[in-house]
Structure 1
Amino acid sequence: MAEIDVEDRRAAAQLDTQPRLSRLPGPSRLVRLPQAAWDAIAANRASETTLPPEVLQALHRAGFVEDSGMPSADWDLVLRGASRSAVRLDLVAVHGQTAWRTAVHVLGRDLVVVDQVHTVHSRGGQIELGVPSPAVTVGVARLDHLSAVLATLLPLVPALQGAVDGAGSDGAADIPSVDPLAVAQAHLMVTSAPAGRPPLALSTSWYAVGPDGTRLLTLRPGDAPADHPGAATSGGTGAAPAADPVVVHPAELYGLVRAQLASALQHAETAQEEAR
């Protein structure tokens, strides 16, 4: 097992040499940070005076630290998003032998994105995430660009990018089988966990199938509970939906996410009003 782990870590490090995100849509900032540095920042154990020089230089190049050495307003968003956001989206995306685990924290009209690549294993019909890369990508974008940000985070196959023509919602007709060799899959959990109120969790799974990933299958909202094996917060992803899938037009994916996020934001806003 030790040799397998070493090989897995080497594979993760190799994946990390070509990170998928070079920028986020719209007004945004993006930086790559070592895992250890990000862990300390997210746990509020690091300040600008204790970070290694190479990390400070990366933050400065990305615009998170001003020329004066003071943190920018966007860096304050990152710190608050990492520790105090009540609403977030957790995404696990799998494409071939590569997977990404992404957290998107929602703070007002801003999004804080934390993205990390993983290796992938298939055991007993289940797809599991392997070792993470030694670095994470951290960015700030705007809520107005949510759909474009989501498209950036999803695998680059037609069904998950909304680029398929003539594939309307045709119910259960001509549904191809879903198996561990699906071209790509994505599992999303939208949560609202304000203080003093029971949390809200909405989960959805999508599967790109067909030779080129041009057909999109999903579970209807509410079909999968929060602890479904395909949930984005679990250790692995399901090889196939637990309920009968339906064929949907790729554009419907983004509309569903926006609707789920609106419900989560309303849930958090109601909690704030009740606390006043």
Structure 2
Amino acid sequence: MKIQASIRQYWPTAALFVALIAIWQLAVSLTGIREYLLPAPLSVWNAMWDGEITWAQHLWVTSWEIVGAFFMAAIVGVALGVAIAWSPLLANALVPFLVFVNTLPKVAVAPLFLIWMGYGIFPNMLMGALIGFFPVVINTAVGLSQVEADMLDLGRVFHAPKWKIFVKIRIPNALPYILSALKITATAAVVGAIVGEFVASQKGLGYVIVTTQSSMNTGVAFAALVWISIVGLVLYGLVVVLAHLWAPWAEGVD
């Protein structure tokens, strides 16, 4: 039954994806577009398995950066969201500063990370976390704050301390909000890691895309984009599964 439900839910997406690839392949074949302008899907597929490019190494580096950025954003974002919901004083101090940080142009910040930390995986993780943490902060704070008054009154009737109300009432209420934000962060972490690789990297899928510019090897660039999308989809899917396990009562976690 679950398999049938999944097929009914996702077959339109799969059909649209297949149709777009078919149209793409036909358009390139019929119009004779140059390979360096728009490679055909079959050329991209072949490039994805090109033995001259160490795809496994680049894929491992980028995946590690994305996963690290995701967890950094999740941990820091939830911690800041809890702090904001716990104390009005901390909220007044943190929210304007976090808004300021979020409005910074991330592409302009990336060269500073290079100056401070040099080349490596960690600066790219930080870039991904910087792009993805803000939705987690906001959703966590909102989820912890927007609790039904009756539930809070019930906790006070039983003389529950503040920390227990947080654990038993506020955190379960905030779980759907947090998990929804983590879905956004899963995609934002991908963007941040690739932006970091564009600015300064010697390995990774973003580095592959940058190096193809000089040789006009657009097929390899598209292949790197496909691998990046696969990593992002896998991470997003894991968050969806986590949402079903942790907050199955919330209709909005799908």
Quick check: which one's helix share is greater? 2
TM-score normalised by length of structure 2: 0.24
Higher relative contact order (CA 8 A, sep 6+): 2
TM-score normalised by length of structure 1: 0.23
Larger radius of gyration: 2
Quick check: which one's strand share is greater? 1
